[in-house]
Amino acid sequence: MDTAQFGKETSRTGEWVRQANRFTDRITADGSSGHRAEPGRYRLVVSLSCPWAHRSIIVRRLLGLDDAISMAVVDPIRDERGWRFTLDPDGRDPVLGIEYLSEAYLAGDPSYSGRVTVPSIVDTHTGKVITNDYPRITLDLSTEWREFHRSDAPDLYPEHLREEIDAVNDPVFRNVNNGVYRCGFATSQEAYEAAYGDLFAELDRLSERLENRRYLVGDTITEADVRLFTTLVRFDAVYHGHFKCNRNKLSEMPVLWAYARDLFQTPGFGETVDFDHIKRHYYVTHEKINPTGIVPAGPDPSGWHTPHGRS
């Protein structure tokens, strides 16, 4: 999700409001949506800096969909035209042949004038964006792409736990995933303090929930853990200082810190984290928050590899 132009999304009371997803078509197993799950047909476009895109990177890796769905990584630094493929030779995505993700947006909707966001899934046959609906993307990877999962893939959205997973995800999205943005992009003291209160109240509730259980729902990793992890892994590097979420660092919250390290050290999680991309995106592109563009040298990431004691 792009977060550069936050000033256009604040309410009269100074509260930041997230832009709705424009492309919400689904890719389904039977193709009833108009888009059938088909290996090699679609390209997942992500930024390694973005927590919303990071969810899809982790889920794709956990399910073994790397060969079925190719992945493009954009430059963590946007310019005036948005997410760009400057990490690739000649500044073009080698599969889609485009320089900017916005080109795929305009192929799908020539009148589109909103922000271009990641993750996005693009149809390689048409060059059009199918979906940028980040909550649905990961759920569909778990359910609609099951035929192409590796044989030992985890069930991240088991049917008998879906109601509980959804119930956990709702306040986590509102108060934590989106809550850190509500803190960082607030333009009034009242809006900031309300978001700050919601954030840390939810983190306290999550600490209590996880004190005597390894994962958020059930006995194995689920979609709920993936969604929380991508915010927690960015907390000390970005949100604590840059977004003023500074009651505590993650490393000062013992239960959540151990839980996050447990996930980080699980195959499919830690190797997908790029702290360089994360820090450069947030500290360089948010000019209203960090006008100097200076990227902090810390924190030391070695702590993520220390024993977590939760197994």
Q: Which of 181, 192, 282, 283 is catalytic?
A: 181
Binding-site positions read 83, 115-118
- Distance in angstroms between the alpha carbons of the first and the last residue of the chain: 33
DSSP assigned state of 8: G
Is residue 53 within 8 A of residue 79, CB to CB? The reply is no
Instruction: Report which residue type is found at 41.
Output: R
Hey, how many other C-beta atoms are within 10 angstroms of the C-beta on 22?
A: 18
Q: Give the angle subtended at the CA of 226 by the CAs of 221 and 232, to the nearest 5°.
A: 120
CA 9/CA 177 separation, integer angstroms? 17
Q: Which of 42, 50, 196, 245 is catalytic?
A: 50
User: Which residue is it, tokens 């959205």?
Assistant: 157
Q: How far is CA 287 from CA 50, 134, 204, in A?
A: 17, 25, 31
Q: Which two tokens stand for residue 206?
A: 């999550």
The yes-or-no answer on residue 42 being catalytic is no
Binding-site positions for glutathione read 83, 115-118
CA 160/CA 134 separation, integer angstroms? 23
**What are the helix (H) ranges across the chain?**
51-63, 101-108, 134-143, 162-172, 179-184, 189-210, 223-234, 254-264, 275-285
Please enumerate in sequence order all residues whose Cβ is within 8 A of that of 25, keeping only pairs 6 or more positions apart, or say none.
Answer: 33, 34, 35, 130, 131
CA 264/CA 257 separation, integer angstroms? 10
The yes-or-no answer on residue 50 being catalytic is yes
Hey, how many other C-beta atoms are within 10 angstroms of the C-beta on 13?
A: 11
> Parallel, antiparallel, or unpaired: how do β-strands 129-131 and 120-123 relate?
antiparallel
Catalytic residues: 50, 181
